């Protein structure tokens, strides 16, 4: 199960180009660290007044994430980035739906995310109650609903949506209709 981390940094005025070049260099060298599976930069849209840049990183596990952030390579980057940015970076691990559709570049159109989510939810809501219904029949209906909903969320988060987003990656991130 991959770990996705979103980092937000506010770049000092006039340092935008230098920050992007420094980050490009850091991305290149960071891929030599076995823990890093992916990285991408999100820049402010043209004409925007914001100086917030987003960095998305993917790791194979929590242990690999922690090893990368404890590495000398990352510490050197933090020192360099600190001279080009204001304040502290904000780190946020992505979970559930927000991580399902994570990929370099802009997110897929909402209608594609909705359609793929429907393709994952519908079979689970149709099958799981039937599969577990006879074992749960003596339970109160509300408790049955809680158990089945929990199974659906678990199956979506850790099984079905990771597979669906990998299989349909080209369609999701292809033409932005």
Q: Based on the domain organization, do 54 and 28 belong to the same domain? A: yes
The most confident of 19-23, 54-58, 114-118, by mean pLDDT: 19-23
The more confidently predicted of residues 114 and 173 is 114
Q: Residue 141's pLDDT is what? A: 86
For the chain, the domain total comes to 2
Half-sphere exposure of residue 19, counting CA atoms within 13 Å on the CB side?
A: 25
In a domain, 23, yes or no: yes
Boundary residue ending a domain (31, 66, 94): 94
Does some domain include residue 159? Answer: yes
Q: pLDDT per residue over 20-49, tens digit each?
A: 999 999 998 988 877 788 888 888 877 878
pLDDT band with cut points at 50, 70 and 90 for residue 101: low
Residue 7 sits in the same domain as residue 90: yes
Residue 67, domain member (yes or no):
yes
**Structure confidence at residue 107 (pLDDT):** 66
How far apart are the C-alpha atoms of 157 and 66, rounded to whole Å?
22
Query: What per-residue confidence (pLDDT) applies to 81?
Result: 95
Domain presence at residue 103: no
Which residue matches tokens 């790791």? Answer: 59
The answer to whether residues 22 and 85 belong to one domain is yes
Specify the pLDDT at position 103.
59
Share of the chain above pLDDT 70, in %: 90
Q: What is the reported pLDDT for 60?
A: 83
Predicted local confidence at residue 61, as pLDDT: 85
pLDDT for 26 equals 92
Examine residue 102 and state whether it is found in any structural domain, yes or no: no
Question: Using an 8 Å Cβ cutoff, are 127 and 162 in contact?
Answer: no
Q: Looking at the domain assignment, is residue 99 inside a domain?
A: no
Query: Average pLDDT in the 12-19 region?
Result: 94
The reply to whether 9 and 66 lie within a common domain is yes
Q: Does 161 lie in the same domain as 85?
A: no
State whether 63 and 144 are in the same domain: no
Residue 57: which of 29, 21, 94 has the closest Cα? 94
Q: What is the pLDDT of residues 61-81, one digit of tens each?
A: 889 999 999 999 999 999 999
Q: Is residue 157 part of a domain?
A: yes
Q: What is the pTM of this model?
A: 0.58
Owning domain of residue 31 = 3-94
């Amino acid at each position: 199960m991959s770990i996705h981390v979103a980092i937000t940094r506010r770049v000092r005025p006039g340092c935008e180009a230098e920050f992007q070049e420094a980050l490009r260099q850091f991305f290149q060298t960071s891929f030599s660290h076995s823990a890093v599976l992916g990285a991408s930069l999100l820049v402010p849209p043209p004409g925007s007044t914001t100086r917030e840049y987003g960095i998305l990183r993917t790791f194979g596990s929590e242990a690999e994430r922690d090893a990368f952030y404890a590495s000398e390579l990352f510490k050197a980057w933090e020192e360099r980035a600190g001279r080009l940015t204001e304040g502290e970076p904000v780190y946020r691990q992505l979970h559930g739906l927000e991580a399902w559709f994570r990929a370099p570049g802009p997110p897929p159109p909402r209608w594609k995310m909705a359609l793929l989510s429907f393709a994952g939810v519908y079979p689970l809501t149709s099958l799981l109650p039937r599969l577990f219904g006879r074992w749960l029949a003596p339970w109160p209906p509300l408790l049955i609903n809680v158990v089945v909903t929990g199974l659906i969320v678990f199956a979506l988060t850790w099984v079905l949506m990771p597979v669906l987003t990998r299989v349909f990656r080209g369609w999701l991130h292809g033409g932005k209709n």
